[in-house]
Amino acid sequence: MIDKINQLKKELEGLSATDLGAVEEFRIKYLSKKGLIPLLFNDFRTVPADQKKAMGQALNELKNFATERINALRESLETAETADPTLDLTRTPAPIPLGSRHPLSIVREEIISIFSRLGFTVAEGPEIEDDWHVFSSLNFAADHPARDMQDTFFIQRNPDVLLRTHTSSVQSRVMEHTEPPIRIICPGRVYRNEAISARAHCFFHQVEALYVDQNVSFADLRQTLLYFAREMFGPETQIRLRPSYFPFTEPSAEMDISCNLCGGKGCSFCKHTGWVEILGCGMVDPNVLESCGIDSKKYSGFALGMGVERITNLKYQVKDLRMFSENDKRFLEEFQSAH
Ligand code: DAH
């Protein structure tokens, strides 16, 4: 009997099939009720008692081997049948396309991260606003030109519903319901009724910062600005403050940084001045504090606001503002290696 087992094992090892029909024939020949292996099991009765154990084991092994062998033949034919013959499985796979973060998101996150190291936390407000939060509470006179239809997108008149033209509206919303100390940073999208060109868009992004506490001084503002500029544009960066005017700050200033393209020597980007303007800032006007219910005799504060597109242009030299909203993949993919 052991010879028979060995012979069948050899046969099984040598089996090959080119179609599933042949595999089925093998199964019938070896494993079906009247197949060769069950027949051997029938002969098992005649095996002497002292060999029964070894023989039983050999028989079981043969049966398992046959089942595996036939299944393997069937599987290899089945997968070969479904595989696309035009596929070249030896080719190296195409790289998996990874998405990239939008340059404005990268820069916004970096601004937030720098200010968060100074203890500022993010505050957000609605894009659809009212006159009070965008203008009146921020000390804009009733006839201030920024309220004009030329600038502001009105959704409704009387009562006014409009798209915010700056993120300074978040300042008044936070001050209204928060006791100082207040230290917030407000990123967001803003809207202005401008003709779209390489240099202007009807929507863009700003980040506003506000610090209100006892004894906040212009020196605190200046030092915060210097820290921000050096973290953002490198430790060599110089800043300068020029007097300016905003209804909600007094005194007000605009900040320039030494041109980060030419290092301040003068180039076409900085119009050969060595300086580029990056933000507006100032001490919060006491009228604004009072409008928002904060005692201006006890508290003072500073505020600043910057355009995210502008900072991004300085970092990455994007020449046309429209690139930011067109979602051209070739443009976006350039930022794949940026963090
Ligand atoms: N809101 C101003 C704008 O949209 C930017 C700005 C200037 C914000 C001075 C401020 C500030 O907080 O103090 O142009």
Question: Model confidence over 301-337: pLDDT tens digits?
Answer: 999 999 999 999 998 988 899 999 999 999 998 888 7
Closest C-alpha to ligand 1, atom 13: 281
Contact 307 CB / ligand 1 (< 6 Å): no
Phi-psi region of 138 (alpha: psi -120 to 50; beta: other; left: phi over 0): alpha
The CA 305 to ligand 1 mean position distance, Å, reads: 4
**Cα first-last separation, the chain:** 73
**CB contact at 8 A, 123 and 117:** no
Distance between Cα 247 and ligand 1 center (Å):
9
pLDDT of residue 81: 64
Distance CA 144, CA 147 (A): 6
| Position in ligand 1 atom list of the atom nearest CA 168 | 1
Task: Indicate whether residue 305 lines ligand 1 (CB < 6 A).
Answer: yes
Q: Which amino acid appears at position 261 of this protein?
A: L
pTM listed for this prediction: 0.73
Distance from the CA of 264 to the center of ligand 1, in angstroms? 25
Q: Is the pLDDT of residue 196 over 70?
A: yes
Higher-confidence residue of 70 and 186: namely 186
